[in-house]
Every structure is written in C-alpha cells, then in structure tokens.
Amino acid sequence: MGRKKIGILVSVLIVGGALGYLALGNFGENLVYFFTPTEVKAFSSDYYQKKVRVGGMVVKDSVHALTEKTGLTFELTDGESTIPVAFEGIPPDLFKEGQGAVVEGYWTHGHQFQSHMIMAKHSEDYMPMELKRAGVELPKKDFMKSLQQ
Amino acid sequence: MNKTMINRVIRKIQRYKGWFGGAAALCMMAGLYVGLLASPPDYYQGEVARIMYVHVPLAHTSLLAYTVLFGGSIWYLWKRDPLVDNMCHAAAGLTALFTLLALLTGMIWGKPTWNAWWTWDARLTSFIVLLLITIGYLMLRTFIDDPEREARYAAVLAIVGFVDLPIVHFSVEWWRTLHQPQSISMRGVSISSGLLIPLMLMSVGMSLLFSYMLMVRTQMLYLVNLLDAKKGRLLSQFHLSKAES
Amino acid sequence: MTAFYLRWGVVLVIAMIIVGMTVRDYEQHLASVSPAQILDDPPHGDVRVQGLVKAGTLQGNLEEGFATFALGGDQATLSVEYKGLPPENLRELKLLIVVGQWDPASQVFRARELALLTHYGFVVSAYLVGLLPLLLVLFFMGRKVSLLFEEIKQSKLYQSE
C-alpha cells in the first residue's frame, strides 16, 4: 500500500512539476531564450564575458569569410540596432544573409560579439526555387516582430 | 457463444474500423509518394524540408490525441461510462507515442537546419512537457487498484494537464523561439501548393491513422478488462462449485 | 487471422515499393561525389560534386549569374566556374553541391547549377523513426485484438450465463 501511494505521488509530481516549470522557470519574464541586439547594446558590464544567446537577422552584404583561420564576421540586426559578430568555425548550411540566426557566445568589452556556435532560425514559408526566383512572397510573420516578443 | 456480452460500441468499431485504417493507408501512401518523389525541394532548406511531411503531422496528431483525452476525461466524469475511460486510457498511450515520435523527428530535422539537435526554447520545452504529462498520467493509472478510482483520478489529471496545449500551440507566437512560427495561421498559408499537397495528405492520413489506432487500442483495453472480469467471476463460480461438492 | 496478416502484407509490399523508388530516384538524381573522386577518375557527362566553398576564393558577379570559386573536399580541391541563374545559396564556407561537367583540358569544373546538400540520411531516418514505430505498435495491437476476440469466441465464458 505504501509503495502504491508513493507511486501516485510521484506521478502527480511529474505532471505538477512539468507544469510548474513551464509557469515559473522557463517562461517567466526573468528568462528569455535569446536577447536582441538592442538589448545587448544596453548590457550593463555584469553581462560582459557572460555566455548568452543573441537572435537577429544577418545583415545583407555584411558576411566576410576569414582567410587566416576558419571563421567569419558579420552583423546581426533587430531593425533598430546592429551588432558585429566574430564567429569561429564553419557556419551551418542555412546561415544566410537576410535570414535569421541565433548566435551563442559573449559580448566583449570591445563591443563585439564572439561566438563559436551559430543556429539558423529559418522562416515558416516553404516553396520551390522556381517560385522564389519568380519573386513570389507568401504571407509570413514579420521577422523583426518575432524578435520583440 | 453469446457475443452480445460484448459492448455494442466495441462491436460497431469492429465492423467499421477497417474503413478508417484503409483510408489512412491510402492517404499516407499517396502522401509518401508525393512527399518523397513527386514534390519539389524547398528553396531555402532543399531536400531536407521533406522531413516536414512526417514531423508536422506527427506533432499535430499529438495535440489531437491529447484533445481527445481531455474531451474524453470530461465525458467520463460526467457519465462515468467505463468504455469512455478505456478510450481515454487508449488516447493517453497514443499521445505519448505520437509526442515522442514528433520530438524525435523534430530533432532529426533540427540538426541539418538549425544546427542543433535540441534547444530549450518555448516550443520544444512545452512540447516535452506534454510528453511528461502523458507519462505521469499513464504512471498514475498503474498505481491505483480500484478501477473506478483510477479512472476518476486519471481524468482529473488529464483535465489539469490540458493547460499545456494552448502553450504548445501559441509558444511560437508569444515568445522568442528558435522554432519558426506556425505556417498555417491567421496570417494565411505560408506553404506553396506543391509542398502543401503532400503535407495535407500526410496530415489527413495521420489523423485517420490515429483514429484507427484509437479504435483498436480502445477495443484492446476493453476486451482485456472484460476477460479479466469474466475470468474472475468464473473462477469464483468454480470455487463455489468446489465448495458445494 | 489469415486476413489480418494478408492486409499487413499488402501494406508492407506497397511501402517497400515506395522505398525502392525513392532509393533509385536518389541514386539517379541526387547522389554526389567528392572532388577527389573527380580528379582520380575524370567522369564524362553531368556529375554532382559536394564540397566546401573555400574562404577567400569566391569571385565574380552573382547578380549576373557568374562566379568562380574553389570547392574543397577532404583530400582535393577543384576550381569551379559557375554560369547560370543568379545563385540563391552561394557563399564562402558553405557546403554545397555543384552540378555540371569536368573539363580535363583546362582542369576546371564547369557548373551550371548549384544545389543544397540533400541530407538524405536525415530525411530517411526521420521517416523511419517517425513511421516504423507507429506501424509496429499498430501491428501488435491489432494482433492482440484479433486474438482477444478469438479467445472470447472459443472460451465458454458466455455460455453458462
């Protein structure tokens, strides 16, 4: 009988704990999945050199591959502010100018974001290349708005 | 042989379930063919976007399955029909299965596109919470001996857990996530017809497959219960006759 | 029970046919080779080569659909000359597939199309991981239900009521 009671308690705790985690831990205002470039620029010095994620759109014509080592530099924008990013490594396949990216790394005293990890944030539209070339635009969420949520 | 001892609904299911299974098979075969062979690759993701045709139907069917569990739980608390409880139990098992598969296919899609198998953004977190809720529900049922109490407690738990569903759905609209927003929403449809057709075929097929699996699983749970109950009675009659002789 | 296994057999056969067609389609249209394979064994006709666009080598006018770059593999590097539609997916440090012909005289790969990596392994595993467990669970549930019905039919549970 005792073991059964413990079992019931554990089951209820799993459900309650999972829901509680959603309500308090993850989605409280104190924790966001990524910062925007505007927020990064406003960082107090406590945040410098601290591992964070930043999300934004890769600025057109800002990507430059490094030749001395494997890596690249580019700019990330949320429409309001733009920050420079230095990345070491091979960027993911879908990393592209004019598309979303979430970079992991830290904001330095030299006001540059240093990263070893890029995640591509793709949009929700899907179509064949022929349509894209023909200039078709499907309805989708304004990317900059999705950064401000 | 007196088959009428079996519940009328279970016998109806036995008669008509084949239509659902057949329709599911047809839709999914067509969806697989179009999705893998007769549809263009995506302009941005290329061939790997074809994972959408299996991942998205699995994910939405998970939500459908939990919605059935939620509706069934309310229905059970209202009518106290053990067959409805069998259906809830079946829907919970299927929710766990579909949720797990949606998570796994999502991980396989995430690596080549996002460059991450997993990340703790709002969509992924709320979705794994759905899996945990269902596992908790199924665990709870194993620890209660009295069937009526088991059904009642489980129904309450399922109703409480339903709050996660709107969170899963709207997470990509409410919070900053790595996961992209909904492709089909109030904004319109963001998928061109060539890629939408296989997605719809697989989605409809997966929903039909779920309804078919729900019927089969409900039958299974009901028949196991029935046999247990009847065997129990037979056993006691057997003991009774022994005692009398 | 025979009807049950027969239905599953039909499903299995159709699934195998679709898988077979997909594999053949991949081998005919999408499979690619590495730069080293091109140099070792110069092919005739169209080929697809997969490699990494090397940093600092991309030149040309992308808007007019012209570019030259070096495509690196594990062991060898090819010089590629691309002429075609303005490429959507060309940048340095990107893995991609070039479609075209190898010109042994000038040692240049003349590409007319650039394609994204197929990631076919990911696609195939997603379909297997997503669908096989469903079929397995359904098969065993369906079998159990058939057996339960048989058990109820054959047992004398309901005769002596």
Residue to mutate among C91, C117, C118, C122, with most A CBs inside 10 A, is C91
Delimiting residues of CATH 2.40.50.140 domain(s) in chain C:
33-115
* Nearest residue to B158 via CA among B141, B144, B171, B146: B141
Check: complex ipTM more than 0.95: no
What's the topology of domain C33-115?
A: OB fold (Dihydrolipoamide Acetyltransferase, E2P) (2.40.50)
**Beta strands C95-103; B188-189: pairing state:** unpaired
Say if A149 is an interface residue toward chain B (CB within 8 Å): yes
Q: Which residues contact C13 (CB under 8 A, 6 or more apart)?
A: none
Q: Is the Cβ pair A141, B181 closer than 8 Å? A: yes
> What are the start-end ranges of the E strands in chain A?
52-58, 64-65, 71-77, 82-88, 100-107, 113-121
Q: Mean pLDDT across the stretch A102-126?
A: 92
Q: What share of chain A is helix, strand, coil (3-state, %, to 5)?
A: 30, 30, 40
* β pairing state of C108-115 and C77-83: parallel
CA distance B188 to chain A (A): 6
**DSSP readout, B140-183?**
HHHH--SHHHHHHHHHHHHHHHTTHHHHHHHHHHHS--SSPPPS
* Nearest chain A residue (CA) to C94: A93
- A89: distance to nearest CA of chain C, Å? 9
Partners of residue A129 in chain C, C-beta under 8 Å? 88
Closest CA in chain C for residue B224: C148
Whether B209 sits inside 8 A of C133 (CB atoms) is: no
B181 touches chain C (CB under 8 A): no
Residue labelled with tokens 């597939």: C97
C137 contact B CB<8A: yes
Task: Give every CB contact of residue C126 below 8 A, 6+ residues apart in sequence.
Answer: B51, B54, B55, B105, B108, B109
Instruction: Compute the average pLDDT of residues C85-113.
Output: 88
Mean pLDDT in residue range B43-72:
96
Q: Give the Cα separation of B64 and B56 in Å (integer).
A: 12
Q: What is the pLDDT of residue C42?
A: 84
Rounded mean pLDDT, A16-27: 77
CB pair distance less than 8 Å for C55 and A63: no
pLDDT tens for C120-140 read 899 999 999 999 999 999 999
- A37-148: what fold? OB fold (Dihydrolipoamide Acetyltransferase, E2P) (2.40.50)
Query: For residue range A28-77, what is the model confidence (pLDDT) as tens digits?
Result: 554 678 999 999 988 888 888 888 999 999 999 899 888 888 899 999 99
pLDDT tops 60 at residue B102: yes
Q: Does B7 touch chain A (CB under 8 A)?
A: no
A72-105 per-position pLDDT tens digit: 999 999 999 999 999 999 899 899 999 999 999 9
